[in-house]
Amino acid sequence: MNNLQGKVALITGAARGQGAAEARLFAERGAKVVITDVLDKEGKQIAAEIGDAAHYIHMDVTDENAWAAAVKETVERFGKLNVLINNAGIVQVKAMVDCSVADYMKVIEINQLGVFLGMRTVAGPMKDAGGGSIINISSIDGLIGMTGGAAYCASKFAVRGMTKVAAMELGPDNIRVNSIHPGGVLTPMVTQTGLDESAIESIFGKVPLGRVGQPEEMATLAAYLASDDSSYSTGSEFIADGGLTAGFSLEG
C-alpha cells in the first residue's frame, strides 16, 4: 500500500510511542516524514532507522518561533508540507483540588497551545500545496471525563473543539482537519503516569475488544486520515478505543 505517496508529513512527539509508529508507517506507505520532538537522541535514531524518507528536527511545540523554523525547514527539504500530525502530548493524573496553576498550565501549553500553534503555522504552506490534512491527536479524554484529568481532559476537549473551528475556516483551502481519539494504548506517555503494564492491561482489558491498543493501530487511523481516501471527512472525531466509549454493560 503506497497510498501516502506525495505526502509530506510533520509529526510532533515522534521520537517514541505513537508518534514514532506513525513516522514508520507513513514512510512505509510512501510519505516523506519530518520527525519533531524534544528528545533529540531518540528522535534522530528513529529518523536514521527510517532512512532518506525521514528527517529529525528539534522542536518544542510551545515555541512559536520553533514552529515557524521547523515548517520552513520541512518545505525546504521536501518541497512542500501537506500533512500535520499534532501528536506531542503529556499526561498528568492529579486530583483537581491538588492541581496547581503551574501543573495545569504545563499540560495546557503542550497539549493545547501546541496544537493551536501547529495548525496556525501550517495553514499557509498547506494552502500553497493545494490542500492538506491536519490530524490532531485528542483522546477518549476528549470525549468523556477521567478522574485526575482536570488539565488533561481540558486540553483534549479543547483540541476536539479547535479541530472543528479549523475545519470550518480551512475547508475552503481544501485543508481537512480531524481529531483522533485513542483509548488505552501502551506507550511511554501512559506508563509515565506510574501505572505499570499489567495495571494498564487490567484497566483496558475490560473494553469490548478485551485488550489494550497498540501504537500501530493508531498509526493506521492517522494514515487513513492523511490519505486521499478520507477526502470528504473534516471536522470530526475518529475513535479507536476498543469500544471503551460505546456504552456500559449491566453484566460483569
Partner 1 sequence: MGALDGKVALITGAARGQGAAEARLFASRGAKVMMCDVLDEEGAQVAADIGDSAAYMRLDVTSEQDWKNVVNATVEKFGKLNVLVNNAGIISPIVEIQDTTLEQYNKVINVNQVGVFLGMREVVEPMKKAGGGSIVNISSIDGLLGMYGATAYCATKFAVRGMTKVAALELGKHGIRVNSLHPGGVKTKILDDTGMTEEQAEDAFKAIPLGRIAKSEEMATLAAYLASDDASYSTGSEFVADGGLTAGFALEG
- Give the residue numbers marked as catalytic: 152
104 Cβ partners below 8 Å, 6+ apart? 150, 151, 154
Q: Nearest 5°: phi and psi at 36? A: -120, 150
DSSP 112: I
Q: How far is the CB of 173 from partner 1 (least distance, A)?
A: 10
Task: Please give the distance of CA 138 from its chain centroid, rounded to a whole number.
Answer: 7
Stretch that binds partner 1, among 62-70, 84-92, 194-202, 207-215 (CB under 8 A): 207-215
Compute the distance between CA of residue 204 and CA of residue 87 in angstroms, rounded to an integer: 21
Q: How far is the CB of 252 from partner 1 (least distance, A)?
A: 12
Binding mask 146-185 for partner 1 (x = CB under 8 A): ------------------xx-xx-xxx-x-x-----xx--
Stretch that binds partner 1, among 38-46, 59-67, 115-123, 210-218 (CB under 8 A): 210-218
DSSP 228: G
With respect to partner 1, which residue has the nearer C-beta, 97 or 250?
Answer: 250
Q: Using CB under 8 A, which of 28, 73, 109, 217 touches partner 1?
A: 217
Q: How far is the CB of 220 from partner 1 (least distance, A)?
A: 4
φ/ψ bin of 72: left (φ > 0), alpha (ψ from -120 to 50), beta (otherwise): alpha
